């Protein structure tokens, strides 16, 4: 008899994730170059807007801890706007249901993605904002969602953030599933606005997925 389990309570460590899906970190430096090579240049207007976004976020954060919804409004949504991920050919869905059937173990894993961006039928980017939760706690959940990618031959990307720090994930689930992480980008750096790096990578991912959509 097939049993159904919540992803958030079933896959709680990277070890459990890797064992459940036979997933492994890549050993190739070429697997995830998108976050550091050939990034698009930002305009002066975009840089100015990112400074405004950062100042606004810092003002709210100094007053009190920020919930996930506030992080989305102050940071995630403006970044998606600047990256063009609300525009053609992309669509955004929130609280998207995910179901993964693991036949050999006769179980189904279910969960809900905070934010899913698609282009036609291709999954482009999964976003999870987790307030103050540490990355090692949140990573297994978003990476399990990424395993549900309905187009395993096309890479899927993830962005995880807690307001102060952000990190990108790339996963390819075809054949032997593999993944890799970007560096962690911090908004706590006083003299460097790493929202610029995040926006450049988002633009890069959007460009790549438009190419994949038409391939």
pLDDT band at 132, cuts 50/70/90?
Answer: low
State the average pLDDT over residues 24-32: 95
pLDDT for 102 beyond 90: no
Give the count of domains, the chain.
1
pLDDT digits over 166-205, tens only? 999 999 999 899 999 999 999 988 788 999 999 999 999 9
pLDDT for 214 beyond 70: no
pLDDT digits over 44-80, tens only? 999 999 999 999 999 998 888 888 888 899 999 999 9
**CB of 177 closer than 8 Å to CB of 44:** no
Go through 67-97 and write b for each residue having 16 or more CB atoms within 10 A of its CB, e for each that does not.
ebebbbebbbebbbebbebeeeebebeeebe
**pLDDT confidence of residue 133:** 66
Residue 27 CA from chain centroid, whole number: 21
pLDDT band at 130, cuts 50/70/90?
Answer: confident
* Of residues 15 and 65, more confidently modeled: 15
**pLDDT confidence of residue 17:** 94
Q: What is the token pair recorded at 157?
A: 């990307």
pLDDT for 28 beyond 90: yes
Q: At what angle do helices 14-21 and 135-147 cross, to 10 degrees?
A: 20
**CB of 24 closer than 8 Å to CB of 178:** yes
pLDDT band at 33, cuts 50/70/90?
Answer: very high
**pLDDT confidence of residue 5:** 86
Distance CA 70, CA 66 (A): 6
pTM: 0.93
pLDDT band at 211, cuts 50/70/90?
Answer: confident
pLDDT for 81 beyond 70: yes
What number of CA atoms fall less than 13 Å from residue 41's CA on the CB side? 2
Give bridge partners of residue 160 from the DSSP assignment: 128, 167
SS3 196: helix
CATH number for 137: 3.90.1570
User: Which of 108, 147, 110, 101 shows the shortest CA–CA distance to 126?
Assistant: 147
Q: What range does the domain containing 203 cover?
A: 3-214
Note the helical H segments in 67-194: 68-71, 77-82, 135-147
> Could you say which DSSP state residue 97 is in?
E
């Amino acid at each position: 008899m097939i049993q159904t389990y919540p992803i958030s309570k079933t896959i709680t460590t990277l070890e459990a994730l890797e064992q459940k899906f036979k997933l492994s970190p890549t050993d190739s430096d070429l697997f995830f170059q998108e976050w550091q090579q050939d990034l698009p240049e930002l305009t002066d207007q975009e840089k100015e807007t990112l400074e405004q976004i950062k100042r606004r976020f810092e003002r709210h954060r100094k007053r009190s801890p920020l919930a996930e919804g506030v992080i989305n409004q102050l940071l995630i949504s403006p970044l998606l706007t600047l990256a063009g991920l609300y525009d053609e050919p992309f669509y955004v869905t929130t609280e998207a249901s995910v179901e993964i059937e693991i036949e050999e173990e006769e179980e189904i894993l279910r969960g809900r993605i905070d934010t899913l961006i698609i282009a036609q039928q291709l999954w482009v980017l999964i976003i999870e904002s987790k307030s103050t939760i540490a990355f090692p706690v949140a990573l297994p959940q978003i990476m399990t969602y990424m395993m549900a990618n309905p187009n395993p031959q096309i890479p899927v990307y993830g962005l995880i953030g807690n307001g102060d720090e952000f990190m990108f994930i790339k996963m390819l689930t075809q054949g032997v599933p593999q993944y890799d992480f970007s560096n962690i980008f911090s908004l706590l750096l006083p003299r460097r606005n790493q929202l610029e790096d995040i926006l450049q990578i988002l633009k890069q991912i959007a460009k790549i997925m438009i190419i994949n959509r038409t391939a």
